[in-house]
Amino acid sequence: MKFSWRCFPLETAAIAKKIIDAALNKQASDILLLDLREVCSFADYFVICNGESERQIRAICDEINQTLSKEGISEFHYEGSADSGWVLLDLGDIIVHIFNPQQREFYGLEKVWSKASPVVKIL
């Protein structure tokens, strides 16, 4: 399934994989890809990962941004900041959450979206 609100050359699953690879390049930890297609209407996937510091969260965001730019994807919504411990990148069909471990535990997205199917889990 291609992005519904823009015409991108890659399918959503392939873009999600590139996002995960970019996060891994910056040593993101506890990476989870959730398939939301059966449980919500506003996104197909969540990518959730941890950065251990503000600097690492920023580096993960920058790497994902550069990776997406290489694929011709430059327009997406950005929320939060590295110093808040949570950054959200909204690409429409894929939403990326980059947390510090404390914020991730506090918000508990895995519990909130427990009916979503885990596709990838990298500790």
Domains observed in the chain: 12-122 (3.30.460.10)
Q: What is the pLDDT of residue 123?
A: 86
Return the amino acid letter for 45: Y
All residue ranges of the chain with pLDDT < 50 are 1-9
Q: What is the pLDDT of residue 94?
A: 95
| Rg (alpha carbons) of the chain, rounded to whole number | 13
Instruction: Give the other-Cβ count within 10 Å of 54's Cβ.
Output: 14
Return the amino acid letter for 77: H
Q: What is the pLDDT of residue 17?
A: 95
Greatest Cα pair distance in the chain: 36
Q: What is the pLDDT of residue 71?
A: 87
User: pTM of this prediction?
Assistant: 0.88
Q: What is the pLDDT of residue 6?
A: 40
Cα separation, 34 vs 120, in Å, equals: 7
Q: What is the pLDDT of residue 10?
A: 57
